[in-house]
C-alpha cells in the first residue's frame, strides 16, 4: 500500500529531497531536507469486512524499524516522530498516540508493542486507523539523507460483542426475554455400560416455526466408575497362569452436534477414571452465532463404561431457542408464511364491523365509505383481489395508476380509502359549525373501527 506524500527514490543521491522518498524494493521511507509527513490509513470497514457483526475495536499492534544515525555526519539522520490516530466518520480524532525517535539509532532498530484504546468503538463510530511519520534531514543536503523508516506491521485489535450474534449469551442481551428452552429431548431412563441418545433438531422444533433460531444446548448425564479387574484369565495344565489381564474401570462420553449436512460443528469428550467414583455432568453450549433450525442436524450423547458396576446413564438435553414470531403472529412481518391470509382475515373482520354499525353517525360513516369505494379508481383492482374478477384491459402503452400485485396490499388500500372518506366527512363538519357535534360522533367510532 503506497505512502502519501512520497516519490520513488533511494537513500543518498545528490538531487531531490524536498519530498520524502519511498523505495518499493526495500519498503523504506527516506526523509529529505524539507520537513514533511507521510501516512497510510486503514479503512476499518474494509479491513474487518469478514469479521462478522457486533465488532468492538479495542486497540492496535505495531512493529516498525527506525534508522536515525545521529552521530554519523554522513549518515541518515535528523528529526523523526510518529503518530497513530483512530478517526471517526467525519474525520474527528477519537484516539491519538505519539512516538518520539529523536535518539541515536545507527542501524535499523525494531520497535513493537500493543496499544489499547481508552474506550471501545464500533465500526459505525470509528472509520479509519492512520499511521504517520514526520521527519527531516538535519544536514539540509540535496538527496535523501534524513531518517529512514520501515513499517513491518500495523493491525487492529478487536472483539465481537457476543450479544450481537447470540442473544442467549447474557440476560442483558437484546432479545434475551424471548429465549426459551425445550423440554428434555432424551430418554433419561436409558444407559449402563453403553449409551447412544440422539435427537433431530428440526423434528424437536416442529411447533416453533421454520424461522426458529437455535442459540445453544443444555445437557448432562450421570457417570459411575466401578471396580477394575486384574488377574489371571487363563491357566496352563499345571495350574500356572498363562494369561493375565488388567482391565481398568472407566466411564467415557462424547457430546456432539452436526449441521444439516451431517458435518460435526461441535464435539466435547469426557473421561472419568478412579475406582469407586461417580458424579454428574451439567453443562451449557452456546453457538458462536445463532443458527436457523433448518441449518442444524442432530444432537447426540454417546458413552461407554468398563468395570464392575460402571455406567453412563441419565442423559438429558434441552435446546435453547427463540421461536419463529410468525407462529404466534403471522402479521409480524410481510415475510411470514401466513401473512397474506392473516391480512385477508383482518380485512373481512373490519368490513364486518362496518356492516354491523347501526347508530346514525356510524351509518353516515358506513355510507360514505361505501360511496368512496364504489367511486374509487381502484375498484376494478379491489374486485380482482377480493373476488377474482378479471381486471379490465389496459390501453396500449399506458401504465396502471396503481400497481398492487400482492394481495397483502389490499388491506392498506382499503384503509387509505376509508380514511380519505373520513377526512371528507370531517371537512364538512368543520365548515358547518352546527355539525361540530356530528364530527365528534363520527371520528370516535371511526377510529375504533380502523384500529
Tens-place pLDDT, residues 51-70: 777 889 999 999 999 999 99
C-beta of residue 432 within 8 angstroms of C-beta of residue 425: no
pLDDT mean over 373-401: 52
Identify any residues that bridge with 217 across adjacent strands, giving them in sequence order. Answer: 285, 319
CATH code: domain of residue 24: 2.60.120
Give a yes or no: residue 169 inside a domain. Answer: no
Neighbours of 58 (CB within 10 A): 16
pLDDT mean over 104-124: 95
Structure-model confidence comparison of residues 208 and 213, the more confident one: 213
For helices 360-374 and 379-387, angle between their N-to-C axes, nearest 10 degrees: 100
Give CA angle at 316 (303, 263), nearest 5°: 65
pLDDT at 396 over 80: no
C-beta of residue 351 within 8 angstroms of C-beta of residue 366: no
What 8-state DSSP symbol labels residue 144?
A: B
Give a yes or no: residue 165 inside a domain. Answer: no
**Block residue for cell numbers 450481537:** 164
Q: Are residues 299 and 357 in the same domain?
A: no
* Overall domain count for the chain: 3
Q: Are residues 361 and 410 in the same domain?
A: yes
pLDDT at 256 over 90: yes
Comparing C-alpha atoms, which of 300, 293, 297, 201 is closest to residue 256?
A: 300
Rounded distance, CA 55 to CA 74, Å?
49
C-beta of residue 343 within 8 angstroms of C-beta of residue 331: yes
Cell of 391: 381486471
pLDDT at 420 over 90: no
C-beta of residue 38 within 8 angstroms of C-beta of residue 4: yes
Structure-model confidence comparison of residues 401 and 135, the more confident one: 135
pLDDT mean over 371-379: 55
Q: Which class for 49: exposed (0-12), middle (13-18), buried (19 or more C-beta within 10 A)?
A: exposed
Tell me which of 116, 131, 160 is where a domain ends: 160
Q: Are residues 354 and 439 in the same domain?
A: yes
Q: Are residues 276 and 358 in the same domain?
A: no
Rounded distance, CA 296 to CA 225, Å?
34
Instruction: Output the pLDDT for position 368.
Output: 53
pLDDT mean over 322-346: 75
Give a yes or no: residue 91 inside a domain. Answer: yes
Give a yes or no: residue 167 inside a domain. Answer: no
pLDDT at 407 over 90: no
C-beta of residue 110 within 8 angstroms of C-beta of residue 63: yes
Rounded distance, CA 283 to CA 264, Å?
19
Neighbours of 211 (CB within 10 A): 19
Q: Are residues 134 and 216 in the same domain?
A: no
Q: Which class for 295: exposed (0-12), middle (13-18), buried (19 or more C-beta within 10 A)?
A: middle
Q: Are residues 385 and 414 in the same domain?
A: yes
Q: Which range of residues forms the domain containing residue 124? A: 7-160
Give a yes or no: residue 332 inside a domain. Answer: no
Neighbours of 389 (CB within 10 A): 13
Q: What does the mean pLDDT of the chain come to?
A: 83
Q: Are residues 20 and 136 in the same domain?
A: yes
Instruction: Output the pLDDT for position 234.
Output: 86
Comparing C-alpha atoms, which of 327, 326, 330, 293 is closest to residue 213?
A: 293
Rounded distance, CA 321 to CA 259, Å?
16
Give a yes or no: residue 398 inside a domain. Answer: yes
Instruction: Output the pLDDT for position 230.
Output: 83
Rounded distance, CA 339 to CA 337, Å?
6
Q: Are residues 95 and 193 in the same domain?
A: no
Beta pairing, strands 277-292 & 213-225? antiparallel
* pLDDT category of residue 228 using cuts at 50, 70 and 90: very high
pLDDT at 274 over 70: yes
Q: Are residues 315 and 378 in the same domain?
A: no
Instruction: Output the pLDDT for position 102.
Output: 96
Structure-model confidence comparison of residues 101 and 373, the more confident one: 101
Q: Are residues 253 and 303 in the same domain?
A: yes
Q: Which residues of 325-360 are buried (b: 16+ CB within 10 A; e: fewer)?
A: bbbeebbbeeebeebbebbbeebeebeeebeebeee
Give a yes or no: residue 122 inside a domain. Answer: yes
Neighbours of 126 (CB within 10 A): 24
Calculate what percentage of the chain has a pLDDT beyond 70. 75
* pLDDT category of residue 401 using cuts at 50, 70 and 90: very low
Is the pTM above the cut of 0.85? no
Tell me which of 107, 135, 160 is where a domain ends: 160
Instruction: Output the pLDDT for position 341.
Output: 75
Cα-based torsion angle of the residue sequence 397, 402, 404, 405 in order, rounded to the nearest 10 degrees: -10
Q: What are phi and psi of 324, to 5 degrees?
A: -65, 120
Cell of 77: 539522520
Coil, strand or helix at 427: helix
pLDDT at 296 over 90: yes
* pLDDT category of residue 400 using cuts at 50, 70 and 90: very low
Phi-psi region of 251 (alpha: psi -120 to 50; beta: other; left: phi over 0): beta
pLDDT mean over 92-109: 97
Q: Which of 82-91, 245-254, 321-330, 384-393 has the lowest mean pLDDT?
A: 384-393
Q: Are residues 138 and 58 in the same domain?
A: yes
* pLDDT category of residue 424 using cuts at 50, 70 and 90: low
pLDDT at 386 over 60: no
Give a yes or no: residue 229 inside a domain. Answer: yes
Residues with Cβ within 8 Å of 360's Cβ and at least 6 positions away in sequence, in order, are none
Residue 94, CB-side half-sphere exposure with 13 Å CA sphere: 24
pLDDT mean over 320-325: 91
* pLDDT category of residue 351 using cuts at 50, 70 and 90: low
pLDDT mean over 127-154: 96
Q: What are phi and psi of 426, to 5 degrees?
A: -70, -35
Q: Are residues 298 and 204 in the same domain?
A: yes
Instruction: Output the pLDDT for position 392.
Output: 54
Amino acid at each position: 500500500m503506497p505512502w502519501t506524500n512520497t516519490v520513488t527514490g533511494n537513500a543518498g543521491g545528490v538531487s531531490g529531497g524536498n519530498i520524502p522518498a519511498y523505495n518499493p524494493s526495500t519498503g523504506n521511507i527516506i526523509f529529505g531536507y524539507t520537513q514533511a509527513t507521510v501516512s497510510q490509513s486503514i479503512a476499518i470497514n474494509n479491513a474487518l469486512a469478514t469479521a462478522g457483526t457486533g465488532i468492538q475495536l479495542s486497540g492496535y499492534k505495531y512493529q516498525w524499524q527506525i534508522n536515525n544515525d545521529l552521530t554519523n555526519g554522513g549518515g541518515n539522520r535528523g528529526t523523526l516522530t510518529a503518530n497513530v490516530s483512530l478517526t471517526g466518520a467525519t474525520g474527528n480524532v477519537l484516539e491519538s498516540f505519539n512516538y518520539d525517535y529523536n535518539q541515536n539509532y545507527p542501524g535499523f532498530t525494531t520497535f513493537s508493542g500493543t496499544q489499547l484504546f481508552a474506550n471501545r468503538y464500533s465500526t459505525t463510530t470509528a472509520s479509519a486507523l492512520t499511521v504517520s511519520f514526520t521527519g527531516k534531514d538535519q544536514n539540509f543536503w540535496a538527496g535523501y539523507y534524513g531518517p529512514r523508516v520501515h513499517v513491518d506491521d500495523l493491525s487492529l485489535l478487536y472483539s465481537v460483542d457476543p450479544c450481537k450474534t447470540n442473544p442467549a449469551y447474557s440476560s442483558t442481551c437484546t432479545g434475551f426475554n424471548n429465549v426459551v428452552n425445550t423440554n428434555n429431548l432424551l430418554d433419561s431412563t436409558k444407559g449402563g455400560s453403553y449409551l447412544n441418545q440422539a435427537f433431530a433438531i428440526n423434528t424437536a422444533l416442529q411447533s416453533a416455526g421454520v424461522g426458529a433460531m437455535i442459540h445453544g444446548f443444555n445437557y448432562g448425564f450421570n457417570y459411575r466408575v466401578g471396580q477394575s479387574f486384574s488377574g489371571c484369565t487363563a491357566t496352563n495344565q499345571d495350574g500356572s497362569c498363562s494369561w493375565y489381564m488388567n482391565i481398568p474401570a472407566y466411564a467415557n462420553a462424547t457430546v456432539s452436534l452436526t449441521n444439516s449436512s451431517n458435518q460435526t460443528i461441535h464435539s466435547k469428550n469426557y473421561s472419568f477414571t478412579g475406582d469407586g467414583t461417580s458424579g454428574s455432568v451439567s453443562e451449557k453450549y452456546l453457538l458462536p452465532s445463532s443458527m436457523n433450525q433448518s441449518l442444524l442436524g442432530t444432537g447426540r450423547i454417546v458413552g461407554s463404561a468398563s468395570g464392575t458396576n460402571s455406567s453412563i446413564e441419565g442423559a438429558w438435553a434441552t435446546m435453547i431457542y427463540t421461536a419463529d414470531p410468525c407462529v404466534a403472529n403471522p402479521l409480524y412481518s410481510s415475510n411470514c408464511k401466513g401473512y397474506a391470509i392473516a391480512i385477508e382475515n383482518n380485512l373481512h373482520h373490519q368490513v364486518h364491523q362496518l356492516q354491523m354499525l347501526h347508530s346514525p353517525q356510524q351509518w353516515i360513516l358506513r355510507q360514505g365509505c361505501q360511496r368512496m369505494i364504489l367511486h374509487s379508481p381502484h375498484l376494478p383492482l379491489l374486485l380482482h383481489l377480493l373476488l377474482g374478477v378479471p381486471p379490465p384491459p389496459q390501453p396500449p402503452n399506458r401504465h396502471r395508476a396503481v400497481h398492487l400485485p400482492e394481495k397483502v396490499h389490499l388491506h392498506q388500500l382499503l384503509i387509505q380509502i376509508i380514511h380519505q372518506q373520513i377526512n371528507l366527512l370531517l371537512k364538512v363538519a368543520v365548515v358547518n359549525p352546527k355539525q361540530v357535534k356530528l364530527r365528534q360522533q363520527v371520528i370516535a367510532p371511526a377510529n375504533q373501527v380502523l384500529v
